[in-house]
Chains A and B, each alone.
Chain A
């Protein structure tokens, strides 16, 4: 009976221990990866290709999401802002929400699925087929060869993709305002400029830098921790995406509290 009562506490304890162990392993991997950055001859030649994979290849999906977000934002703003509120606030709402929140966060979440899953599946497959061990036996540092170029590519390219997404989202909102809401360009731009602060763009850039590190870091960590065959690769891929999405949302709140 006593054992039955203690079981939930034991489960919580085990979960806590597993979580702390995982955090410790992740910390060790990322600090070792930071040291591995000294091996520039290993990761530098791979960086451009990773930037193309992580950043350039993600542009279409990021712009697709941003376009429809911009359209919906303009329509919903127009629906909500009735009566005493001037219609040019549609531009304000579209601009502010795209720059501060929806551009970085939606893009981050979508890229967690696209980039994080891709990295985790790739490195997980390399792990279970002993390709990571093969790298080591050929005198390569796997962290310098696999982790550093991917994480740097994420950190460098996420802000670019996010800024593009923000621009397209605002443009889509503008186009919607002109075509469907009977607003003029002058009105929309007035709303856009009235509460615009250059710091907002820096805020979006800082957020997307951190999201880039989280998405690629979670993909690398979960991929390299893969055990077992195809099932293990599936598990680590799911774990990478879920972890990246959760951390992105926590970081989003953190940056809002710290920087705004």
Chain B
């Protein structure tokens, strides 16, 4: 297993967000974690990248125990992880090209020429060729997401973590981003972990889908298994039926 979470618990003050979440992501697959807003999906992703520490439980990425890593080892591991942020998190004061090249500057043996070539390659991969000199404020929402994706893939990571990659985008741009996620998996062979509440996107990009409900993994299966599952909570979420989704919790 390339990513494995076991019994991960996390609380912020009195609010228990994760209550023993367990999950395994296989090498080369794209797994989508779905769940309503505020259910702890982004918190989960930040644990995988080592941005948050769990209160208890274990997180293994490429056999490394993320919470136990020292500063240097964590930096080494992060070179193998690309993170696509919900609102892109591009550096405002830098151009798109500088943003994309940011991670490469920290890699040993990369000179300016090699970085420029890789930046151009990544921007071409996400169809942003002509926008290298623009600043983030001059980009549309979809272009920002694509620039964020280009920045994440520039250091050729083994894992890509996507935090709500299609939130706030129109249906056409959503499809464009979904195709890019698929392309990353097919062409670059990366292992993907996608956090989303958009079921259409999840069906399109994921090999398997996990529903995060009440701090735990409620259901994990292929898109076809999700479509035919009889679990009430899953049905409630997929169909957007609050009576079904919240009904089970009330009972």
Question: Taking beta carbons and an 8 Å cutoff, which residues of A are in contact with B?
Answer: 125, 129-131, 133-134, 136-141
Contact = CB atoms under 8 A, between A and B. Distances in A.
B78 A141 contact: no
Interface of B: 46, 49-51, 71, 75-76, 78-79, 81-83, 85-87, 89-92, 102-103, 106, 151-152, 155
Contacts of B90: 131, 134
Contacts of B71: 141
Contacts of B49: 136-137
Contacts of A140: 102, 106
B87 A134 contact: no
A140 B151 CA distance: 14
23 contacts: A125-B92, A129-B87, A130-B89, A131-B89, A131-B90, A131-B91, A133-B51, A133-B83, A134-B83, A134-B85, A136-B49, A137-B49, A137-B78, A137-B82, A137-B83, A138-B78, A138-B102, A138-B151, A139-B75, A139-B79, A139-B106, A139-B155, A141-B75
A130 B106 contact: no
B15 to A, nearest CB: 14
A138 B90 CA distance: 12
Contacts of B106: 138-140
Contacts of A136: 49-51, 78
A49 to B, nearest CB: 10
Contact of A134 (B75, B76, B91, B155): B91
A102 B83 CA distance: 50
A141 B91 CA distance: 15
A134 B78 contact: no
Given A137-B49, A138-B106, 8 more contacts: A129-B89, A131-B90, A133-B85, A134-B91, A137-B152, A139-B155, A140-B102, A141-B71
